[in-house]
Amino acid sequence: MPIQSLPNLTLIEKSINCSVGNDVFAAKQSAYRQSQMLLTKSLGEHVSVGLNTAIDRAVQELEDFTTWSSHDIERRQAMLSRLAHCVWDMPLPAKSAEQIGQDPRERDA
């Protein structure tokens, strides 16, 4: 998967981005926790918004990442796809529905 692919990128405030630059994922996690953007914040910690609110229910689908490998990037791609389909209330294509969330090693076997 290319480095500049969507799941390997995240929106982050300029001030936070300047402090982390191109550091490794483990070093960036504490900075991600400071972000006001939920998708970015979720890269550093499990997020919740209120108690049983619509946003809280949506962020429950966000996966935790403790490492950042090509496998983690593929997991994030699948998670972002599921989230997009949920947010825009679109059914998943049949083939994607079977593959999304599936371990890529199983899918390619």
pLDDT digit string (tens) for 14-57? 999 998 888 899 989 999 999 998 888 888 888 877 787 777 77
Structural domain boundaries enclosing 101 = 69-109
Euclidean distance between CA atoms 67 and 56, whole angstroms: 24
Percent of the chain past pLDDT 90, that is, above it, reads: 20
86-105 pLDDT, tens digit per residue, is 777 777 666 654 555 555 44
Same domain, 62 and 78: no
Bigger pLDDT: 59 vs 78: 78
Residue-level pLDDT at 107? 46
Q: How confident is the model at residue 108 (pLDDT cuts 50, 70, 90)?
A: very low
Euclidean distance between CA atoms 103 and 20, whole angstroms: 30
Question: What type of residue sits at position 74?
Answer: E
Q: Is residue 77 part of a domain?
A: yes
Sign for the pseudo-dihedral over CA of 57, 44, 7, 71: negative
pTM over 0.75: no
Euclidean distance between CA atoms 94 and 84, whole angstroms: 16
How many domains is the chain built from?
2
Q: 11, exposed or middle or buried, with CB in 10 Å at 0-12, 13-18, 19+?
A: exposed
How far lies 100's CA from each of 10, 28, 36, 70, 106, in Å?
20, 27, 27, 16, 12
Same domain, 49 and 76: no
